[in-house]
Amino acid sequence: MNALLDWMQSTWLNSLALNYQWTWPIAETLHFLGMSLLIGAIFVMDLRLLGVQRLIPASTVHALLPIAFLGFGLNFLTGLIFVFGDPHRYFVNISFQIKMVLILLAGLNALLYAVKVSPALAAAGPNAPTPPLAKAVGGASLVLWIGVICFGRLIPYLGSG
């Protein structure tokens, strides 16, 4: 593992993160913007899956997915800068580890949405009652993404291991 972390420190991403005064603040700002786009879109979608505002057709809410993907992309790219900038700090940090597990679980939950829930919602009427699986996926997504935010914010404070 140390060989991987040492290699990460030798890359151009590490140099970008550490050798330019404005890289880290710009990356933090873009990470926050990405999080806002991602979480804003996801929360609206999840609340609709839970049955809130059934007057809004699920297909309309589904149109927020590109915004969520844009936010996730921004967070992925800026997150790489952070991790490559200080890999020995991040990889041993329990909060970072939990955050990564939660993101993986949120991704699997999104896959369940794409494979099972989205087709069921498309087949139902625009204002049909929300199926139980859709409510479960929406609730799980809310919990997982709130966890991602909380553990991400705790990275500087929980320390290593």
Q: Could you tell me which residue, 122 or 91, shows the higher pLDDT?
A: 91
Q: Convert the pLDDT of each residue in 103-136 to its tens digit.
A: 999 999 999 999 999 888 888 776 677 889 999 9
Residue 159's SS3 state is: coil
Q: Convert the pLDDT of each residue in 39-59 to its tens digit.
A: 999 999 999 889 888 777 777
- The arithmetic mean of pLDDT across residues 69-81, rounded, is 97
For residue 80, with 0-12 CB atoms within 10 Å meaning exposed, 13-18 middle and 19 or more buried, which class applies? middle
- The arithmetic mean of pLDDT across residues 151-157, rounded, is 93
Which residues span the domain enclosing 88?
2-158
Number of domains in the chain: 1
Q: Which pTM was predicted? A: 0.90
